[in-house]
A and B are shown apart, each in its own frame.
Chain A
Amino acid sequence: EDQVTQSPEALRLQEGESSSLNCSYTVSGLRGLFWYRQDPGKGPEFLFTLYSAGEEKEKERLKATLTKKESFLHITAPKPEDSATYLCAVQVKDKIIFGKGTRLHILP
């Protein structure tokens, strides 16, 4: 069965303390992996799409990487406004499967 698992479920960091969020997947025929940011009560906001192992993408303090079994979202020197839930999703054929997300809280 296709599965997406995100860890940790929740993470509290001090402002400026870098860390990584993990998204591991077991799927057959990965067509793409996506990262989204979701603020409470709002729709997910698209961040990155990765298509093949070794690919990396960056946006401000965020960097996403992809291997054959997992993806990492690295957050460098985070600020309080980076607090949100980060969702990972994989596309398999015509289906997109979301992980349950990592709730990130950055303390000032």
Chain B
Amino acid sequence: DSGVTQTPKHLITATGQRVTLRCSPRSGDLSVYWYQQSLDQGLQFLIQYYNGEERAKGNILERFSAQQFPDLHSELNLSSLELGDSALYFCASSGWVQETQYFGPGTRLLVL
């Protein structure tokens, strides 16, 4: 158990809808990262927050957004969902030494 929690575990929704994925980092970790993992693309970095501020951006679509709250939990919002958004979404956290990331169990999103 990495200490990172993600909810929900599974999510099934329809095209065009909007969903919110939630992540609670390990106790004391200030950085949160979001990743998307699909079969053909591997693990793709989406975005990083550090202590409430956006720190780095990867291949995140404009339809996706994220934020980190004062209690350090983070949410990833996915809107206008398309079939291709079906994937595993992982959250990871790290402390001030931001290199070592600890991953949560993931949210499996299925868009029908």
- Residues of chain A whose beta carbon lies under 8 Å from any beta carbon of chain B: 31-32, 34, 36, 41-46, 49, 87, 89, 91, 94-101
Give A45 to B103 CA distance when docked, in angstroms: 7
Our count of residue pairs bridging A and B at CB distance below 8 angstroms stands at 53
Give A41 to B39 CA distance when docked, in angstroms: 11
Contact A94-B104, Cβ < 8 Å, known A31-B99, A101-B42: no
Q: Is the interface of A mostly helix, strand, loop or mixed?
A: strand
Q: How many residues from B make CB contacts under 8 Å with A?
A: 24
Contact A98-B106, Cβ < 8 Å, known A43-B2, A46-B100, A49-B100: no
Give A103 to B12 CA distance when docked, in angstroms: 28
B55 adjacent to chain A (CB < 8 Å): yes
Instruction: List B residues 29-60 near A (Cβ within 8 Å).
Output: 33, 35, 42-45, 48, 55-56, 58
Task: With CB as the reference atom, state the residue of chain A lying closest to B41.
Answer: A100
Decide if B45 touches A87 in the complex (CB within 8 Å).
Answer: no
Please name all residues of chain A whose beta carbon is closer than 8 Å to the beta carbon of B4 when the two chains form the complex.
43
B101 adjacent to chain A (CB < 8 Å): yes
Residue from A34, A43, A95, A97 within 8 A of B106 (CB atoms): A43
B105 adjacent to chain A (CB < 8 Å): yes
14 contacts between A and B (CB under 8 A): A34-B99, A34-B101, A41-B106, A42-B105, A42-B106, A43-B2, A43-B92, A43-B106, A44-B90, A49-B99, A89-B43, A96-B101, A97-B45, A99-B42
Task: With CB as the reference atom, state the residue of chain A lying closest to B45.
Answer: A96
